[in-house]
Structure 1
Amino acid sequence: MSPAPLRLVVAAYNEAANLEGLFARVESSLKGRPWRAFVVDDGSKDGTGAVLAGLAARLPVTPVVHPVNRGIAAVFLSGLRAALDGAGPDDAVAILEGDGTSDPALLPAMGDRLAKGDVDVVIASRQVPGGEYRNFPPKRLLMSLAANAMLRLVCGLKGVRDYTIFYRVYRAGPLKRALEANGDAFTSVGGFACNAEMLLRLGPYSRGAAEVPFVYDYGLKKGASSMKLGGNLLSYVRLFRIHAEASRGGGL
């Protein structure tokens, strides 16, 4: 029996200049391994849709289109629901950024770590030896370091040091159970803090997490970030209540 395809959820907002290069790297990194990408076009205005149509005509790429921009929380919900449809319980589901900063060359190592069977999420981490923040604007670097330190102190999830990175590989079964149990509240805080929220929501359904070193090069971005620093900080504060609720169920 051939292995199940690695399912990729790719968040894309105005990424017309980046997607061709990203998928060239995906093809190179996943040679010999089946994959299927679900690219969520979140109301892009720069021709992302046309680029996606071209990719879908020649690669295993499925566009998931939001006619208007709905934000990253809705992107995660749409992309994960599409990717989990028909997935087996041990299939791997990865989330990547469409701007090219999530290096696909790390996917085989992340998938191999998940396949060991003792954890249900593998995180590409800047917070472990060998991981690195590269070319980060000072304010964003400070926010990321502060948010991760705060979340480690308060939440202390097993095996997690980098709470705020997009780039992860999940086991489909626990992820699907957590998403079905929470519905749209799986990403209730909105903004980029919902990325940490997903780990908290997954907690009661998961055996834990592992991390692999990741060099995040902010200089690879070709467009401006849509992240609002102030609103994100307020969202992180809301995560503590969510952690208290989730931790009563045990898990991660």
Structure 2
Amino acid sequence: MSSPPSIASASQKRQKTARAPLREAKAALYREHILAAAEAIFAEQGVDATKMQDIAREVGISLGTLYQSFAGKGELHRAILISRSQQMVETVTQRGVQVLVKPTGVEPILWLIGVQVQFLLDHRDYLRIQLQQGFAWYHATSWPSAEEERLWKQGLEQMRGIFAWGQAQKWFVPGDGTDLAQLMMALQQARLMHWVSAGMVEDAAPVIARIQTDFVRQFCRPSVALTLLSEDGSQLSARALASIAALNG
């Protein structure tokens, strides 16, 4: 005996509802697969030289299927940058929550800078795409989309707060916190551009240490810098490096 129409309809509805999360999960995985493949191709070939056919071929799907997920190369490019930028902001915010609220010294701030730079070095394709765009990280008008600008402003505000706190403790030189944060971004961009141009073969630790040293020399008061730098001022002291390393645990 067949089920009454109302019962059959309710059963089908429940099955459809139960399958919805699975479909959404599959769609999310599918999207991540496309983004990962496109990120690698954009980094290697450059965005301008890449065709949507290249990405579809790498993913193993038809061009039509790719266009069902992304309207074009520009949308795909923006999706990669926004996704990675969100991940970076979340990583820094989650790992450095205490430092962002109330740093206890300069070493924790240097450690947090290391967390951010390590993310960029670990995601070198994302870093290469960022640098390929050729605009200055420190300037708000450089970011092509509203979401990218929002994420940039969030990171800028975090660093502005750190500078304000450090200035109140007399760790950092006087100056507008926003200007100092933007200068820090410019210094990081220059260092990372050099690393990429040199083939990305150098280990992360010395790259991070140089960026941390730049920060101390540029922004710390001389009396504070003396406690953190080597005798000749060319690098962080062994004591400072040990203090920063201890925070990784």
TM score, norm. by length of structure 2: 0.30
Between Structure 1 and Structure 2, the one with more strand by share is 1
Normalized against structure 1, the TM-score is what? 0.29
* Highest RCO, 1 vs 2 (Cα 8 Å, sep ≥ 6): 1
Larger radius of gyration: 2
Query: Which has a greater percent of helix?
Result: 2
